[in-house]
Amino acid sequence: MIIVLKPGTTPAEFDHVIERIHQLGLKPHVSTGEHRTIIGVIGDENKLQAQPLQAIPGVEQVLPIMKPFKLASREFNKKDTVVAVGKVKIGGGSLGMIAGPCAVEGVEILDEIAGPVKNAGANILRGGAFKPRTSPYSFQGLGEEGLKILHDIGAKHDMPVVTEVMDPRQVPLVERYADMFQIGARNMQNFDLLKEVGQTKKPVLMKRGMSATVKDLLMSAEYVLAEGNANVVLCERGVRSFEDSTRNMLDMSAVPNVKVMSHLPIIVDPSHATGRPDLIPSMALAAVAAGADGVHIEVHSCPEKALSDGPQALLPPRYAEVMKQIRRLAEMFGKTF
Amino acid sequence: MIIVLKPGTTPAEFDHVIERIHQLGLKPHVSTGEHRTIIGVIGDENKLQAQPLQAIPGVEQVLPIMKPFKLASREFNKKDTVVAVGKVKIGGGSLGMIAGPCAVEGVEILDEIAGPVKNAGANILRGGAFKPRTSPYSFQGLGEEGLKILHDIGAKHDMPVVTEVMDPRQVPLVERYADMFQIGARNMQNFDLLKEVGQTKKPVLMKRGMSATVKDLLMSAEYVLAEGNANVVLCERGVRSFEDSTRNMLDMSAVPNVKVMSHLPIIVDPSHATGRPDLIPSMALAAVAAGADGVHIEVHSCPEKALSDGPQALLPPRYAEVMKQIRRLAEMFGKTF
Amino acid sequence: MIIVLKPGTTPAEFDHVIERIHQLGLKPHVSTGEHRTIIGVIGDENKLQAQPLQAIPGVEQVLPIMKPFKLASREFNKKDTVVAVGKVKIGGGSLGMIAGPCAVEGVEILDEIAGPVKNAGANILRGGAFKPRTSPYSFQGLGEEGLKILHDIGAKHDMPVVTEVMDPRQVPLVERYADMFQIGARNMQNFDLLKEVGQTKKPVLMKRGMSATVKDLLMSAEYVLAEGNANVVLCERGVRSFEDSTRNMLDMSAVPNVKVMSHLPIIVDPSHATGRPDLIPSMALAAVAAGADGVHIEVHSCPEKALSDGPQALLPPRYAEVMKQIRRLAEMFGKTF
Amino acid sequence: MIIVLKPGTTPAEFDHVIERIHQLGLKPHVSTGEHRTIIGVIGDENKLQAQPLQAIPGVEQVLPIMKPFKLASREFNKKDTVVAVGKVKIGGGSLGMIAGPCAVEGVEILDEIAGPVKNAGANILRGGAFKPRTSPYSFQGLGEEGLKILHDIGAKHDMPVVTEVMDPRQVPLVERYADMFQIGARNMQNFDLLKEVGQTKKPVLMKRGMSATVKDLLMSAEYVLAEGNANVVLCERGVRSFEDSTRNMLDMSAVPNVKVMSHLPIIVDPSHATGRPDLIPSMALAAVAAGADGVHIEVHSCPEKALSDGPQALLPPRYAEVMKQIRRLAEMFGKTF
């Protein structure tokens, strides 16, 4: 931590800053420059980050040196983490290929989608039973009924399943049916929910919030890790921007950026990121080329009748084509699924 | 709802679109232009908004005409809503002047802040007992203990109190102690939480999400209203942007914008919006001039020792000065507090 | 300037960093912490800011301490600068009330607008002769003919005039007719144009770029100041954001923010910032309450026939009403126009 | 074009809207719905887009149906445009691999960079002679001297050269030395400059503005095309966002998005987009996988002494490694360079 003093700080203000640093059990290291005095603070930066040093009279800037996350950091774990979802591995060269409809709508329709995506190479089935919809008047999901259907169709096709949990009270219920929790973008900083899934052993797919920085995303992962659950897979799904021809803006650089800062796997969801089926295939390929540990694509056999997000779903045959290309690309990079 | 067809749509595709519209019990109205065919759809647009019309083959664009919220809309209620928080009124010319520390830290410190802010003209006391912190290692609030302190100090100074609720399971507990729920920016789309507070009768202070549009904010209010709780006060508290010299970007135009679209009161929180005590006073004044129904300011008697967000708090004497100016401004606009 | 080294930096890398600092004629000041080594660099930071220190092997972060602008900075000039535009003063308690149509369209129409805005209290007339239009097929302005009309109508109503200059080659021409140059948002970083107006003595109205930070805006002002022209008035006119119900997002906090960092006057343009006549009046009031040195409003006597940006113009009677309120507000703050 | 009327529009207002449409030589097509009246306008939409219909009393919304660009649109030209830069082709399966230092700094240093990048597979040499720097105190480029050096070193290594032109007055000078003009992000809406390069026959590398939408980018290309120069190559180089760990946010989806909307080639510049050498290689690979027609990478043999943007440059050996991988990827997609 570095503290920069305002020009014209009084000796009393200076002494007060130094005293506060000592009170915290830390050591100040003063450099007096031509225009500014700077104080390097030696000691546990985590202790300091919780302190409102900026508010001390005479302080102009407080510059943190260390990253605010620890368990999620690359420094904590040099080796890439591999997360197991049922028999499927995500990370370390194994790609998680997640596919399925936005929402679970019924047994037949899910079965009709699961078969083809499994054949195309998908290894995890997705489907929402609890849906976070912007409008209270939109379809809110089938609830437990949807969870059962997802579980059964997953079992039938031998695929582990992932589904969103929105409410800490639903965690035990969702845990019974799902192989992986999904934390949606809108709940990335729903900290009580994060703590709750952190207390289970089930893997967690953590979607990036709509205006979360990469550091924010890693801080939210840290919440889960700090509770003892190390099985976190991050997911880039686009962020809010001024661009109005796509639903969100896919921040592809988040993939290598996360890999520099953290040991956790990261996958990409081009469906929510673009909202446009015509852009999904090339973004899925780009994600694998960027080093992603998997791709999350929404597939629906009849997008025009889908109860949620139909317009952004691929048809199963288009998904199968894309998966062929992804497979060749993955091989080129020495990865498998 | 207007549906625009792609150039070169086949007659079969056209017929299919028309058929789908009829299936939904609605009437199509076709205009054939030089470059595009457009279909006006007559009937209940809410029915249509839930439909994935964009996914029908041949459809290029779907343009909604109506706003997606109803109970929150100005069309639903031409008169400004006035929300009562204890004996304090917000809206319709009455300003809600909310002040207090970011977090409740203890009896004495809160008392030391509440007295001066009450004297300065604040009419609602704030303080967090459950704190949504980016880091799991930061102070998370005193919990029920904090709620009790807030309630008691509020009672002592005859001020109703507002405090954040983060978890649907905490709603009954918070309801016991607080006069108003706060929904934080990070939970603006925590829909289960919104439904839960919607089922109480207590007023709700709904903070705008970090990347929520004004429409998104009104849709979240709609969730509370749809459950039967009409006492919603909106709060502009800045949104995420590229500007790096302020914590967030205060969207002041949200104030008149909300008033055009909705009958709900809206207040402004310059503390979180700017994160800078040197900018808070002028932004508080601007908010009142813009037509806001109140101002939310964090005040702390010792910002450098605050357990949360100290650097953005005003000292009580500075708050008192600002309130003097706000009072003159409010009078000029015929408003009171 | 502070240089933070990566953990695990070799002694050779360390020596190389120190050597580079000495080569630049500066002094290093080393602090060795638990997790990181930091080097404070003493000396002329401007020299350093031009250096790619970040690229030196072993360097993790380079943290500047000083602001990158000098002549525009508050430290350079503690007193507020007052800019004279003809007989009108902007800054130091005098408000520049700029009004007029987006584009100069003809003698009669401009005369029809100038009279009422002058009567309402406007003290500077605006109108574009060279128009930066997103589409090459939109009206591009009347050119020199437009400049003449603007000059003549300004003279008739005894108002100095401001008009945009887009091309360095037009500077001498525009200088002949206008009392103040406008640099449009799209040209805020057209550095050759900035240098060219910097070499005149005419005041410059510098609009903030669509995604410029406040620092970027001040750096662009620095370009003009560095050429010897000290008459710069800044203008907040909204920035790009995800909000889709307003044309741009008005960053009202830029007003006090600029006043903390710089001595230059700043005005607000709610017309371009919101693009909505129903929001302009309250944003104009908020701007004055926030401390702005003036307000820039587009006024047109027949918005539906305006050749540019008609939908965002106020009608003259509405402008007159707003000006009455602004006058009362200005008086309250001890300002005049 | 679709015009939506406000609820409660008077018959006189309605008649006035219809009259205005007829005055413009167009035909209205009225649909009266339950909540709104909508008017489809049949005829040349370009004529209408220049009209301030939004300002007509009674009009609630104006919804354009057609895209505002024409010559740049995919509808205008179904076949991908291939742009020749000297003997190098960009588009239609041929990749433009542009490399070189940010700025031309001298003969030896440029030669030292050009040799290795040519060997690694780069086919166009870049280097700035006129530099748009945020600070007036930063190195501004060598000017004509730099152009000569770039031209000579390009000739020596048999590579066509691209360099930025910032000022319309420099166009003839730059044209003499360069094979391709670069329009920088800050000048994407410097319309006089666009017209000037539009009047030459030289290819133009058009960088996306910092907060330009994909449509804005295509509108700027339209300016060049409308002047008769059809040789435009677009360049995605990142946009401004709230993410603070990268210099800009690379909008990778702009690549397929442009290809849907336009026939023009598009390349990606991961150097400016990320500002981080550790992210450039994977973003370059992702760009090719996304379908880009080339990659623009800054390379410097001694980044720590570069006079501009050193920290984001790759060293020549790292560039050569990346190019090997790009070559394999290009082959997989049937592309060559």
- Report pLDDT digits (tens) over C270-308: 999 999 999 999 999 999 999 999 999 999 988 877 777
Asked whether residue D33 carries a pLDDT value surpassing 80, the answer given is: no
Please, which contacts does C19-27 make with residues 24 or more away whose CB atoms are closer than 8 Å?
C20/C53, C20/C56, C20/D304, C24/C48, C24/C51
Convert the pLDDT of each residue in D150-171 to its tens digit.
999 999 999 999 999 999 999 9
Q: Which residue of B has its CA nearest to C238?
A: B251
pLDDT, position B49:
61
Residue of C215, C278, C289 with shortest CB distance to B286 = C289
Residue D273: band (very low, low, confident or very high) from pLDDT cuts 50, 70, 90: very high
Measured between alpha carbons, how far is A267 from A296 in angstroms, rounded to an integer?
7
Distance from CA of B59 to the nearest CA of A (A): 10
Which site among D210, D214, D253 would you substitute to test the A interface, given the most A Cβ atoms closer than 10 Å to its Cβ? D253
Q: Is D305 exposed, middle or buried (0-12, 13-18, 19+ CB in 10 A)?
A: middle
pTM of the model: 0.93
Confidence of residue C42 (pLDDT cuts 50, 70, 90): confident
- Whether the pLDDT of residue A2 is over 90: the answer is no
Which member of B29, B34, B240 has the closest CB to residue D42?
B34
Q: How far is A131 from chain C (nearest CA, A)?
A: 24
Q: Which residues contact D115 (CB under 8 A, 6 or more apart)?
A: D157
In chain C the first and final C-alpha atoms are separated, in Å, by 43
pLDDT recorded at residue B108: 96
Q: What is the full per-residue pLDDT of chain B (337 aa) written as tens digits?
A: 788 888 888 989 899 888 888 888 888 888 787 778 888 877 766 666 656 777 788 888 887 777 788 899 998 999 999 999 999 999 999 999 999 999 999 999 999 999 999 999 999 999 999 999 888 888 889 999 999 999 999 999 999 999 999 999 999 999 999 999 999 999 999 999 999 999 999 999 999 999 999 999 999 999 999 999 999 999 999 999 999 999 999 999 999 999 999 999 999 999 999 999 999 999 999 999 999 999 999 999 888 777 777 778 999 999 999 999 999 999 999 999 9
Nearest residue, CB atoms, C213 vs list B244, B257, B274 = B244
> pLDDT tens digit string along D109-124?
999 999 999 999 999 9
pLDDT at position A201 over 70: yes
Residue D309 has pLDDT above 80, yes or no: no
Taking alpha carbons only, the member of B289, B283, B317 closest to residue B303 is B317
Q: Measured between alpha carbons, how far is C247 from C312 in angstroms, rounded to an integer?
A: 10
Of the candidates D55, D139, D74, D57, which has an alpha carbon nearest to the alpha carbon of residue D104? D139
Q: At what angle do helices B107-120 and B144-156 cross, to 10 degrees?
A: 40
> C208 to chain A nearest CA, in Å?
17
Segment A100-130, tens digit of pLDDT:
999 999 999 999 999 999 999 999 999 999 9
Query: Is residue C6 over pLDDT 80?
Result: yes
C-alpha distances (whole Å) from B330 to each of A305, B93, B190 are: 53, 9, 34
Q: What mean pLDDT is reported for chain C?
A: 93
Considering only C131-135, D38-42, D282-286, which range has the smallest mean pLDDT? Answer: D38-42
Round to whole Å and give the CA distance between A83 and A294. 12
Q: Do C282 and B288 touch (CB under 8 A)?
A: no
DSSP letter string, D188-202: TT-HHHHHHHHTS-S
Q: Tell me if chain A has a CB within 8 Å of the CB of D32.
A: no
Mean pLDDT to the nearest integer, D291-303: 95
Overall average pLDDT of the D313-330 stretch: 97
DSSP designation for D284: H
* Percentage with pLDDT > 90 across chain D: 73
Mean pLDDT, chain A, integer? 93
CA of A48 vs chain C CAs: smallest distance (Å):
14
Query: Of B52, B166, B240, which is closest to A211 when you measure between CB atoms?
Result: B240
Closest to B283 measured CA to CA, from B326, B318, B242, B315: B326
Kindly state whether B54 is in contact with chain A, defined as any CB-CB distance less than 8 angstroms. Answer: yes
Put residue B334 in one of left, alpha, beta given phi > 0 → left and psi -120 to 50 → alpha.
left
How distant, in Å, are the alpha carbons of B71, B84, B198, C252 from that of B259? 14, 18, 22, 18
Q: Flag if A304 and B55 touch (Cβ within 8 Å).
A: yes
- Contact (CB, 8 A) for B170 and B141: no
For residues C9 and D285, the model is more confident at D285
pLDDT of residue D40: 80
Cross-chain Cβ contact D214/A253 below 8 Å: no
- Cα–Cα distances (Å) from D51 to B2, C310, D46, D66, D105, in that order, read 22, 8, 9, 15, 49
Separation between Cα atoms, residue D27 and residue D74, nearest integer Å: 27
Nearest CA in chain D to C303: D55
Does any CB of chain A come closer than 8 Å to the CB of residue D334? no
C98-108: average pLDDT? 96
Average pLDDT over residues D262-271: 98
pLDDT at B67: 76
Contacts of C211 (CB under 8 A, 6+ apart): B242, C239, C240, D210, D211, D239, D240
Q: Does B2 touch chain D (CB under 8 A)?
A: yes
Counting Cβ atoms within 10 Å, is residue B23 exposed (0-12), middle (13-18) or buried (19+)? exposed
Query: Which of C5, C27, C36 best probes binding to A when mutated, by most A CB atoms within 10 angstroms?
Result: C36
| Beta pairing, strands D88-90 & D83-85 | antiparallel
